Homo-oligomer: A and B are copies of this chain.
Amino acid sequence: MQELKRLKREDLCRSMLERHADVISVQKPDVALKKLKVIISAALKLSNRKGFQAMSLRDLSKESGVSMGGLYAYFDSKTTLLNMILTEVTDAVETVLGNPPEEVTRDPITHLNWLIETHIRLTEEMQSWFSFAFMEAKNFPAKERDIAIDSEELTESYFSAVVERARAEGRFRAHVTPLLPTMIKPLLQDWYVKRAKYKRRGVSVEDYIRSVQEIVLAACLPLDQLAARSEGESGPDSP
Contacts and interface: CB of A to CB of B under 8 A. Distances in A.
Interface string A164-189: 00000000011101111011011101
A135 B134 CA distance: 11
B230 A174 contact: yes
Interface residues of A, number: 40
A139 to B, nearest CB: 4
Interface string A182-218: 1101110110011001000001000110111011001
A50 B183 contact: no
- A135, A136, A138, A233 interface centre (most CB from chain B within 10 Å): A138
A53 interface: yes
A51 interface: yes
Contact of A187 (B183, B208, B226, B227): B183
Interface of A: 50-51, 53-54, 135-136, 138-139, 173-175, 177-180, 182-183, 185-187, 189-190, 193-194, 197, 203, 207-208, 210-212, 214-215, 218-219, 223, 226-227, 230, 233
6 contacts: A174-B230, A177-B215, A179-B207, A179-B208, A183-B211, A214-B219
Given A53-B53, A136-B136, A219-B219, 18 more contacts: A50-B139, A51-B53, A51-B136, A53-B139, A135-B138, A175-B230, A175-B233, A178-B211, A179-B207, A179-B208, A179-B211, A183-B211, A183-B212, A183-B215, A186-B189, A215-B218, A215-B219, A223-B226
